[in-house]
């Protein structure tokens, strides 16, 4: 069995409004993509303990530059 992120795999849709200006937040991708040149190619389990693994996404507002992290529990498929 494999653990996958429901947002990365299209099983859930994420939409949030910016708390600063009310505009829509955009998904900037998974936080691991920002760690290093090879991190987008590494397995998600490389970054988290299997017992509490989460997929953390960076959401940002293109209007006012607000950003935040949102974490999802991984789903077993």
Q: Tell me the pLDDT tens digit for each residue of 18-35.
A: 999 999 999 998 887 776
Is the pTM higher than 0.85? The answer reads no
For 7-45, give one letter per residue: b (16+ CB within 10 A) or e: bbeeeeeeeeebeeeeeebbbeebbbeeeeeeeeeeebe
Which tens digits make up the pLDDT trace of 54-73?
899 999 999 999 999 999 99
Chain center to CA of 16: 13
**Per-residue confidence (pLDDT) for residue 58, from 0 to 100:** 94
d(CA 25, CA 38): 26
**Does 51 score more than 70 pLDDT?**
no
**Per-residue confidence (pLDDT) for residue 53, from 0 to 100:** 77
Domain extent listing, the chain = 3-76
């Amino acid at each position: 069995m494999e653990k996958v992120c429901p947002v990365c795999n299209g099983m859930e849709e994420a939409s949030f409004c910016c708390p600063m200006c009310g505009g829509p937040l955009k998904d900037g991708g998974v936080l691991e993509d920002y760690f290093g040149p090879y991190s987008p190619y590494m397995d998600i389990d490389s970054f988290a303990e299997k017992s509490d693994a989460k997929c953390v996404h960076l959401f940002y507002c293109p209007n006012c530059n607000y950003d935040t992290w949102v974490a999802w529990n991984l789903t077993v498929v």
